[in-house]
Amino acid sequence: MKLVFEKSSAGRRGLRIPKSDVPTSIHLKKEYLRAQPAALPELSELDVVRHFTELSRRNYGVDTNFYPLGSCTMKYNPKVCERIASYPGFAHLHPLLPQLRGGGMLTQGALEVLYETDLMLREICGMAAFTMQPMAGAHGELTGIMMMAAYHRDRGNHKTTVLVPDSAHGTNPASAAIAGYTVKTVPSDEHGCMSLSALKAMLNEETAGIMLTCPNTLGLFNPHVKEICELVHSVDGLAYYDGANLNAIVGKVRPGDLGFDIVHVNLHKTFATPHGGGGPGAGPVGVVEKLVDYLPVSVVVKREDGTYALEYNRPKSIGYIAPFYGNFGVILRAYVYLLMLGREGLERVAENAVLNANYIKEKLKPYYDLPHPGICKHECVLSAARQVKESGVHALDIAKALIDAGFHPPTMYFPTIVKESLMIEPTECESKETLDAFIEAMIAIAQKARTEPETLKAAPMTTPVGRLDETKAARELNIACL
């Protein structure tokens, strides 16, 4: 495919504007003006439309094919949610419109959406209150840890350390460090879960809390999770639940009932709103009753007369953590999704997500190494260590070959505690036929690793750009062509 500049033809236009029939005056200094016209491509409207339509067809997403990106829960986004989010009454609202007087009735519906989404998330997660402001999962983590720090400061606690399992999401240590804590890593046991004995040895009076992803990045649910929370509470620490993997247990168990004090949920994962490309996203954070005072401002409240308003007078609040009231369009999509599925629907989400992941695991375990052979939850982690040993084919080669087969690669080399890991999350949305096609492709690649390893090492062969030297690209970044 040619670049748009290569398609340029001198003198071609897509639009002709008549000369202005009123006087013009330019007040910019001469040094601010171009000495020469901008070197823009010259194209007809049809050229432009075809170029960008072709570019859009090269995009890959859940609307085009299977997207088994482990841990990121790349599930389908129902179009009814998109339709309602585009309603002018929501999409055209300005965040500074009055809450009550004057144009207040224009904002009451949006405030009600924020308020009721908060209530539903409380019920789902077993929390006392939520803030809807965080703009992503990692932003939610930071918000939660900032509230943890505010709680300890308020109590006069000398807390310096946050514990994070080695199977946690990579942003957990960063969030704790940004909040001013020293991060200590808790190793996994032979079953792939955080070691309970190691945790006991590391707990002390300086422990501010623990950040736990449950199920973890191996797709395993820690059977000692309630005991872990109790142990952390015994030193006046707080238990933080990373909700990136909530899709596995949503509707089945509430993090608050397990003993967690702080929860972040990814609306762009569990609750089927757009995800990827650096945004959009939303990571609401819920807390138990003793942490409610530290929630960011503002908080949506319901008045006695049934109207909704924003409350700012919260002396112990950690303050503003985002502009305005959160990523409203994403929250609205999740609101529609929750109303559409209801309690029984959410339970089925978890059931089907777990069923699909275990189906893939069982079908592929004869062809790839399986670090932890037990029942997984929403995702399974395979290893290409066998292929590396037999033919020098790495997880990266397998991922690139999947592109030629028409599938997006799963997550590679994460979690780092599994060598040559391939983390696969099918979500609940995919049909058995789609899963079977993916499984067949993975089996064919495993067989080709034995018979034609060099072919895999050259993949992908069907894309506009072939195999890149990714290490060189990262170390010698050249942005001159961007």
Per-domain residue ranges of the chain: 1-56, 80-340, 351-475
In this model, does residue 191 exceed pLDDT 80?
yes
Separation between Cα atoms, residue 287 and residue 125, nearest integer Å:
9
- Other CB atoms within a 10 A radius of the CB of residue 464 amount to 7
- Is domain 80-340 annotated with CATH 3.40.190.10? no
pLDDT digit string, tens, across residues 252-264:
999 999 999 999 9
The DSSP code sequence of 69-98 is BTTT------HHHHHHHT-HHHHT--TTS-
The CATH code for residues 351-475 is 3.90.1150.10
- Taking residues 77-83, report their average pLDDT: 94
Q: Which residue has the higher pLDDT, 298 or 443?
A: 443
Q: What is the pLDDT of residue 266?
A: 94
Q: What is the pLDDT of residue 101?
A: 64
User: Of all residues in the chain, what percent carry a pLDDT higher than 70?
Assistant: 97
- Taking residues 379-402, report their average pLDDT: 97
Q: Is 168 exposed, middle or buried (0-12, 13-18, 19+ CB in 10 A)?
A: buried
Q: What is the pLDDT of residue 388?
A: 97
Cα angle for residues 202, 205, 210 (degrees, 5° grid): 55
Nearest partner of 95 among 110, 112, 114, 117, judged by Cα: 110
267 touches 81 (CB < 8 A): no
In this model, does residue 480 exceed pLDDT 60?
no
Q: Is 260 exposed, middle or buried (0-12, 13-18, 19+ CB in 10 A)?
A: buried
Q: Which residue has the higher pLDDT, 276 or 192?
A: 192
Binning pLDDT at 50, 70 and 90, where does residue 245 land?
A: very high
Separation between Cα atoms, residue 395 and residue 199, nearest integer Å:
32
Q: What is the pLDDT of residue 482?
A: 46
pLDDT digit string, tens, across residues 314-352:
999 999 999 888 899 999 999 999 999 999 999 999 999
In this model, does residue 205 exceed pLDDT 60?
yes
φ, ψ dihedrals at 245, nearest 5°: -110, 25
Q: Which of 17-21, 60-64, 378-382 has the highest mean pLDDT?
A: 378-382
The DSSP code sequence of 246-287 is GGGTTTT--HHHHT-SEEEE-TTTTT-----TT------EEE
Q: What is the pLDDT of residue 21?
A: 86
Q: What is the pLDDT of residue 71?
A: 86
The answer for residues whose C-beta is within 8 angstroms of residue 349's C-beta and 6 or more apart is 247, 250, 251, 270, 341, 428
Q: Considering only 50-64, 125-139, 357-371, which range has the smallest mean pLDDT? A: 50-64
- Taking residues 7-18, report their average pLDDT: 90
In this model, does residue 196 exceed pLDDT 80?
yes
Percentages helix, strand, coil for the chain (3-state, rounded to 5) are 40, 10, 50
Place of tokens 């020098």: 392
Q: Considering only 185-189, 194-198, 379-383, 466-470, which range has the smallest mean pLDDT? A: 466-470
- Taking residues 278-293, report their average pLDDT: 90
Q: What is the pLDDT of residue 104?
A: 65
- Taking residues 12-35, report their average pLDDT: 84
Binning pLDDT at 50, 70 and 90, where does residue 279 land?
A: low
Nearest partner of 191 among 164, 155, 215, 162, judged by Cα: 215
The answer for residues whose C-beta is within 8 angstroms of residue 161's C-beta and 6 or more apart is 181, 182, 183, 184, 204, 206, 207, 208
Cα angle for residues 111, 268, 71 (degrees, 5° grid): 150
Confidence (pTM): 0.90
- Taking residues 116-128, report their average pLDDT: 98
Q: Considering only 56-65, 203-212, 365-374, 421-430, which range has the smallest mean pLDDT? A: 56-65
The DSSP code sequence of 279-303 is ------EEE-GGGGGGSPSPEEEE-
Separation between Cα atoms, residue 132 and residue 295, nearest integer Å:
10
In this model, does residue 416 exceed pLDDT 90?
no
Write down the mean pLDDT value for the chain: 92
In this model, does residue 365 exceed pLDDT 70?
yes
Q: Which residue has the higher pLDDT, 224 or 472?
A: 224
Separation between Cα atoms, residue 437 and residue 140, nearest integer Å:
36
Could you tell me the two tokens for 210?
A: 């623990």
Q: What is the pLDDT of residue 28?
A: 82
User: Of all residues in the chain, what percent carry a pLDDT higher than 90?
Assistant: 76
